[in-house]
Amino acid sequence: MNEAQMCWWPEMSLAVVVGAGGMGMAIARRLGQQHRLLLTDVNGERLEMVAATLRDEGLSVTTVVCDITDVQSVAGLATAVAAQGPLRVLAHVAGLSPSMAGWQQIMKVNLIGPRLVADALLPLAQAGTAAIFIASLAAHVMPVSEKVQAVLADPLAPNFIERLVEAHGEELTPTLSYVFSKNELVRICQRDAWAWGQRKARIVSLSPGLIATPMGALEFKNQPAKFDMLAKTPLARQGGMLEIADAVEFLASDRASFISGIDLLVDGGLNAASRHPQSSQ
Ligand SMILES: NC(=O)c1ccc[n+]([C@@H]2O[C@H](COP(=O)([O-])OP(=O)(O)OC[C@H]3O[C@@H](n4cnc5c(N)ncnc54)[C@H](O)[C@@H]3O)[C@@H](O)[C@H]2O)c1
């Protein structure tokens, strides 16, 4: 690093990016233009590879290996954030798609994980902090019964998984687990807006549609129905990771300073077209 960069970094506030996969790396690269980065992932090897790449590009990156489904691990992340703050941005990107795990693990990573991270980092939020949680278009594809919603609303409760099976009436499939977990993540960001607002901080979710990432490619391979979704997307293509990074950058910035408690769909119009099918012809 040259001297100018060494002087520049300490002045920058901190952006925490949870999840160093395809989208996480694109988001970190973008946020790293204006922030010091604290990057975290459960996969230490992947984490260090991404961090090394971003450092080679001149960005300031520290890393913490963290399993977001583990309370102690998330507490360790919060300690690292407190030491390196002030916390300006939290971009929570980590998640598992239906092809990646069984339904219980998907529920843990996609719902218990964000719940633990939001709870652990809220005390570090201050005026101007923005938290962005990556949900999914899947959050919007079907209604979730009130009975199931009531269980999803408290994912840290004892016997959460058993209560969920009872409320739903049977074991979930991985796809249903993905839909339920992302649906509840959107609601978390709505409900938590009050608590974050008390600190003059913001929390939102962002729901990507079909995005060209390794995860997206895996789902195209395993779920042929995604080709129908692509055909119904008004913009007639997948989105790119940089288009998600652009939206995250905006939501994280002061230009979005009155935006909280919302879900931003970045889906090329697919959700709208599925609600108004005649307009997709
Ligand atoms: N790619 C798409 O088309 C698409 C569409 C809608 C939503 N999304 C969402 O976008 C997010 C990122 O997707 P991506 O394409 O970058 O996926 P990805 O698989 O490339 O990255 C996900 C990262 O999460 C990490 N992770 C998994 N379990 C973890 C845990 N317990 N603790 C900490 N980290 C963990 C993985 O190691 C991985 O690096 C996910 O939440 C996904 O649901 C993706």
**DSSP per-residue codes, 31-82:** HTTTSEEEEEES-HHHHHHHHHHHHHTT--EEEEE--TT-HHHHHHHHHHHH
Give Cα separations from 114 to 41, 122, 133, 260, 266 (angstroms): 13, 12, 8, 17, 20
Question: What is the gyration radius of the CA atoms in the chain, in angstroms?
Answer: 18
pLDDT tens digits along 187-219: 999 999 999 999 999 999 999 999 999 988 998
Residue 103 scores a pLDDT above 70: yes
**Cβ pair 182, 135 in contact under 8 A:** yes
SS3 166: helix
Residue 226 scores a pLDDT above 70: yes
Between the CA of 14 and the centroid of ligand 1 the distance, in Å, is: 21
Give Cα separations from 93 to 8, 54, 105, 172 (angstroms): 27, 17, 16, 23
Strands (E), 78-167: 87-92, 130-134
Whole-model pTM above 0.85? yes
**Cβ pair 130, 248 in contact under 8 A:** no
Between the CA of 135 and the centroid of ligand 1 the distance, in Å, is: 10
Q: What's the pLDDT at 280?
A: 47
Confidence of residue 12 (pLDDT cuts 50, 70, 90): confident
Residue 281 scores a pLDDT above 80: no
Encoding tokens for residue 29? Answer: 């690269």
Residue 62 is assigned to a structural domain of this protein: yes
Task: Tell me the C-alpha distance between 35 and 91, whole Å.
Answer: 12
Residue 148 is assigned to a structural domain of this protein: no
Residue 278 is assigned to a structural domain of this protein: no
Residue 157 is assigned to a structural domain of this protein: no
pLDDT tens digits along 138-176: 999 999 999 999 999 999 999 999 999 999 999 999 999
Give the list of residues 6+ apart from residue 280 with CB closer than 8 angstroms, or none: 232, 234, 273, 274
Q: Establish whether residue 186 lines the binding site of ligand 1, counting it when its CB lies within 6 angstroms of any ligand atom.
A: no
Pocket test for ligand 1, best of 42, 90, 184, 210 (most atoms within 8 A of CB): 42
Residue 154 is assigned to a structural domain of this protein: no
**Cβ pair 159, 91 in contact under 8 A:** no
- Percent of the chain at pLDDT > 90 equals 90
Residue 218 is assigned to a structural domain of this protein: yes
Encoding tokens for residue 68? Answer: 């977001």
User: Nearest CA to 54 among 13, 34, 25, 80?
Assistant: 25
Residue 280 is assigned to a structural domain of this protein: no
Residue 159 is assigned to a structural domain of this protein: no
Pocket test for ligand 1, best of 105, 213, 270 (most atoms within 8 A of CB): 213
Number of domains into which the chain is organized: 1
Domain residues for 230? 3-142+177-268
Give the list of residues 6+ apart from residue 266 with CB closer than 8 angstroms, or none: 206, 207, 208, 209, 239, 243, 244, 247
Q: Establish whether residue 97 lines the binding site of ligand 1, counting it when its CB lies within 6 angstroms of any ligand atom.
A: yes
Q: What's the pLDDT at 37?
A: 98
Task: Tell me the C-alpha distance between 71 and 131, whole Å.
Answer: 19
- Specify the residue with its C-alpha closest to ligand 1, atom 38: 21
The residue assigned the tokens 């269980």 is 151
Residue with the bigger pLDDT between 220 and 4: it is 220
- Rounded to 10 degrees, the C-alpha dihedral 208/214/218/224 comes to 50
Please say whether the dihedral angle defined by the alpha carbons of residues 160, 162, 168 and 172, taken in this order, is positive or negative.
positive
Residue 7 scores a pLDDT above 70: no
Residue 9 scores a pLDDT above 70: no
CATH assignment at residue 49: 3.40.50.720
